[in-house]
Amino acid sequence: MLKIRLSRVGRKHVAKYRVVLTDHRQSAKHGFMKILGSYDPHTKTLDMDMAEAQGYINNGAQYSDTLARIISKK
């Protein structure tokens, strides 16, 4: 099953996240198939290609719990 989830990047105390498409058994950091966007938790900005993500959702992918919560707040 494919998941759309967050992968942490950035240095210590300055977290940034990539929104990635990955198999649910793979690491989000190294085993992703595609980068769909980014999320900055300090400014709460989500920059994501929603049309492309929706295409994957229609084909059976799922959002992670954390990413679903972030999207629902927007």
27 contacts 8 by C-beta, under 8 angstroms:
no
The CATH number of the domain holding residue 23 is 3.30.1320.10
Expressed as residue numbers, the domain containing 66 is: 2-73
Per-residue pLDDT of the chain (74 residues; tens, 9 = 90+): 999 999 999 999 999 999 999 998 887 788 889 999 999 999 999 999 999 999 999 999 999 999 999 999 87
Count of domains forming the chain? 1
- DSSP character string of 45-72: EEEE-HHHHHHHHHTT-EE-HHHHHHHH
> What pTM did the predictor assign?
0.89
